[in-house]
Amino acid sequence: MQIDFSQLAPLDRYRWMASTVTPRPIAWVSTLSADGVSNLAPFSFFQVISDDPATLLINVNHRQDGSYKDTVRNLQSSDELVVHLVNFAQAQAMNASSATLDYGISEFEQCGIASVPSQLVKPPRVAAAPVAFECRVAQIQPYPAQSPNCSLIFAEVLLAHIDDAVLDGRGRIDPHKLDLVGRLGGMAYARTQQSFEMQRPS
């Protein structure tokens, strides 16, 4: 089977990409509006793209009418965000926070998600998240250049919060304890509870 992407409708392009490039980690992003209202939303077109400086990339689509999602709108007035990783215990709350709420209504409050203050940035962080990165926007790039339909958020990591409960005896991450969820195609998700090791060739 071959698929000529130039012949596909946008929704089909999304479906083929989202169901093949799997599992995708989920960035659970908190931001703050200019009025000080917190916002929380998940994004799975997400990856670490550099470790020096430590940088995360999040793709936020524009809405059908061309308007910005609340996350991008907030980042246009403040360059601070917290990017959380989502474990199985937080999956339902993460999903609930993807609801489209009117601008100015906080998913933290609407979905009953407990928050704690961040240290270096203004947006609060999810209290129960196993990993939270306090970040500053390095760049927001509309994409593609000719007729943008999304914003690529380059976020530089300033401070990481790691739940001690996900560490092993040597103080390193135990992936089984971390138990992150990954996005598959459709409504499916994976858990990172199964792993195997391979030694690199010399």
Which residues contact ligand FMN (rule: CB under 6 A)?
26, 39, 41-45, 59-61, 69-71, 95, 98, 100, 183
Least distance from ligand FMN to the Cβ atom of residue 194, Å? 20
32 or 166, CB closer to ligand FMN?
A: 32
Instruction: Give the Cα separation of 83 and 173 in Å (integer).
Output: 18
Least distance from ligand FMN to the Cβ atom of residue 43, Å? 4
Dihedral, CA atoms, 124, 101, 96, 42, nearest 10 degrees? -60
Q: Is 165 left (phi over 0), alpha (psi -120 to 50) or beta?
A: alpha
Helices (H), the chain: 10-20, 70-77, 91-96, 107-110, 175-178
Least distance from ligand FMN to the Cβ atom of residue 136, Å? 18
43 or 108, CB closer to ligand FMN?
A: 43
98 or 167, CB closer to ligand FMN?
A: 98
